Structure 1
Amino acid sequence: MKTFILGHSKEEVLRLVPENSIRLVQLGEEKICLTRKGETVYGFEAFCPHRRVSLAQGFVTPFREVVCPLHQYRFDIKTGSVRLGDCRDLQVFSTELTDVGLKILLPDQ
């Protein structure tokens, strides 16, 4: 696993990832999306598994789903499970909001 730290404080991360928005970030060679509900930050793959459309252009529902902007496929932002659509589950990444930033774990390629 590769560990990345985004930001330098909890407050900075909360500003960088506004609640209910989707932020695209580059971590090494990998692009991922981040979204936030309260002080919980979720990380998931940047492109829809169905047609590889950028999920950063989608939106987050009140039901903790990310919605693909192309065909409105819906994915659980915590587990990555497909809730609506016909494709594989979304890959999600472990995150932890700390006093020194957001710790993100990505699998080795």
Structure 2
Amino acid sequence: MSKKFTLGTDRASALSMLPERAIRKVQLGSDLVCLARVGEKVFAFQHLCPHQSASLADGKINGFEEVICPLHHYRFDLHTGDLRSGGNCPDLKVFSAELTDEGINILI
């Protein structure tokens, strides 16, 4: 069963909490997840790289809407979690996230 979380109180507060292409780690219930924003698109994904558990909060967001792991530079699609570059590694777990007039809605 999914749980819905809302961060911020409106669109402006949500945008100010999540600067462009920054990665923030947040605790949502019992789950620790990373959030990133590209323009008006918000992405939520597992906080540890599925390769060797490096913190993706220390990673980077590239121009292809991928998160790049800081340890071995594996790249994951922020929309699907698919591994785009790297060795033998499971895909990244991603969660539904949306910027609304009420803030950022995330389904875990």
Q: TM-score, normalised by structure 1?
A: 0.94
1:20 CA displacement = 0.8
Runs of 4+ in 1 over 2 A off after TM superposition: none
Matched, 1:33 2:37: no
Q: SS in structure 1 opposite 2:107?
A: strand
Alpha-carbon distance in structure 1 between the residues aligned to 2:60 and 2:34:
11
Amino acid paired to 2:29 = G
> Which ranges in structure 2 are unaligned for 5 or more consecutive residues?
none
Q: Compute the RMSD of aligned alpha carbons.
A: 0.7
Aligned to 1:99: 101
Alpha-carbon distance in structure 2 between the residues aligned to 1:73 and 1:33:
16
Matched, 1:83 2:84: yes
1:74 CA displacement = 0.4
Alpha-carbon distance in structure 2 between the residues aligned to 1:95 and 1:74:
20
Alpha-carbon distance in structure 2 between the residues aligned to 1:98 and 1:80:
22
> Which ranges in structure 1 are unaligned for 5 or more consecutive residues?
none
Amino acid paired to 1:41 = V
